[in-house]
Amino acid sequence: LPKLVEASRRAHVYMAGPDNLMLILHTVRAILRDARMHEAAGLIQTQVDLMMQDVHRLDERVNKLATHFGQAERDINDIQTSTRKITARGDKIAEIEVMDATAVSNPASASESASNSGPAAGLAAGSAKSQQDLLG
């Protein structure tokens, strides 16, 4: 046996009993499993980094889209303001045309209605009636 031990040490081979052999096998398995997990962790970390770049790019694009929506909303509000102003001016023009048409068809009544129209005409008519009631 001493010659066998001496020969195994020269060949860098170590003898082990059944208990030591199982301990060595479990240790080697754990080392190999840790090496695979470390390699997989590196791949996972690389993929997480790529995913985070995608998330940051998506965030930038969402912010740009929100800016575009805000600009579109402001543009729509400006367009609505313009259409309200155009509609109001169109209504004023339509009123002028109606008043001109009345003046052309009946010049005397148009000038009377122009002078008697409005709140001042109502006050004048009301005060004339009040004076008649007082007198008589």
- Judge whether 72 lies within some domain: yes
- Judge whether 62 lies within some domain: yes
Residue 109: pLDDT over 80: no
In terms of pLDDT, which residue wins out, 3 or 128? 3
- Judge whether 65 lies within some domain: yes
Into how many domains does the chain fold? 1
DSSP codes joined into one string, 96-128: HHHHHHHHHH-HHHHHHHHHH-SHHHHHHHHHH
- Judge whether 56 lies within some domain: yes
pLDDT tens, residue by residue, 7-63: 888 998 877 888 988 999 999 999 999 999 998 998 999 999 999 999 999 999 999
Which residues constitute the domain of residue 44? 2-104
Spatial distance between the Cα atoms of 2 and 18, rounded to a whole number of angstroms: 20
- Judge whether 126 lies within some domain: no
- Judge whether 35 lies within some domain: yes
- Judge whether 122 lies within some domain: no
pLDDT of residue 32: 96
Portion of the chain with pLDDT greater than 70, in percent: 72
